Amino acid sequence: MSLRDDVWRALGTVLDPELDEPITDLDFVASCTVSGEGVAAVRLRLPTFFCAPNFSFLMVADAHDAVSAVEGVTRAEIVLEDHHASQEINGGVAAAAGFAETFTGEAEADLAELRRYFLEKAVIAGQDRVARPLVDAGAGPDELAELTLGAVPASPALDRLRRRRAALGLRDDDAAPLLVHPDGSRVTSAQVPLHLRRARLTRLGIETNGEFCRSFLKTRYADTAG
């Protein structure tokens, strides 16, 4: 396994916070090279010139942290290209400045709250991904409300949901209930229909946006995108 593979795997842990998908799957990594001295150079690209700077900042900063943490990497150089705030974001991340500091006078707060907002959405949407097949197979509200993570068949969707719950500080162990509110409290049997209806809608919003982004990236980088 080469160092470059390790760096690529580290980039695979970086999510577009709004789309809840790894930047490697989204084709946002334009190039990734590692020099003999262990300097990792990563170029990132986004679907539009006007992609929101707050999400963009999070991705660049997260990529910087993830790549820096790879054993053998001596320095991480993460560069966001073709973006209206490229200069500020690249400079801010390289200087380890926060978002608010990078955009002095323009942004009101750092992005922890924003990250949390999207993680909560991901945890709600993820419940639809896991529960929908069970609903289709005939599971009713009482049964669903009692269901624990350990009782659900293993699937990539379940793994993903556990990771997002852990990131949000919610229980992700086998005995934890599958259906929970964003604050981690159990969804009661009476609340199940509305909860699932909403979870499906949240997932749809995220995934529709993802479709837009993929399509714009393809148009924008028609010559190079796969």
The residue within the footprint of another protein, chosen from 8, 42, 55, 126 (CB under 8 A), is 55
Residue nearer to another protein on the CB measure, 73 or 119:
119
**CB neighbour list of residue 214: distance below 8 Å, 6 or more residues apart:** 26, 27, 47
Task: State yes or no: residue 127 binds another protein (CB under 8 A).
Answer: no
Task: State yes or no: residue 49 binds another protein (CB under 8 A).
Answer: yes
Tell me the C-alpha distance between 30 and 23, whole Å: 10
The total number of residues written for the chain in this structure: 226
Closest of 60, 29, 41, 58 to residue 3, by C-alpha:
41
Q: In terms of C-beta distances under 8 Å and separation of at least 24 residues, what long-range contacts does 136-139 make, across chains too?
A: none
Residue nearer to another protein on the CB measure, 15 or 40:
15
Query: Binding pattern to another protein, positions 56-75, x when CB under 8 A?
Result: --------------------
Task: State yes or no: residue 169 binds another protein (CB under 8 A).
Answer: no
The residue within the footprint of another protein, chosen from 42, 63, 111, 123 (CB under 8 A), is 111
Helices 53-68, 86-94: crossing angle, 10 deg rounding = 30
Task: State yes or no: residue 204 binds another protein (CB under 8 A).
Answer: yes
- DSSP tag of 179: S
Residue nearer to another protein on the CB measure, 65 or 110:
110
Three-state DSSP state, 74: coil
Task: State yes or no: residue 80 binds another protein (CB under 8 A).
Answer: no
The residue within the footprint of another protein, chosen from 69, 96, 151, 194 (CB under 8 A), is 194
Tell me the C-alpha distance between 184 and 120, whole Å: 10
Residue nearer to another protein on the CB measure, 96 or 109:
109
Tell me the C-alpha distance between 53 and 194, whole Å: 34
Task: Write out the binding residues for another protein, residues 5-24 only, by CB under 8 A.
Answer: 18
Tell me the C-alpha distance between 97 and 115, whole Å: 17
Contact residues for another protein (CB under 8 A)? Answer: 18, 47-55, 84-85, 103, 105-109, 111, 113-114, 121, 124, 136, 190-191, 193-194, 197-198, 200-202, 204-209, 211-212, 215-216, 219-220
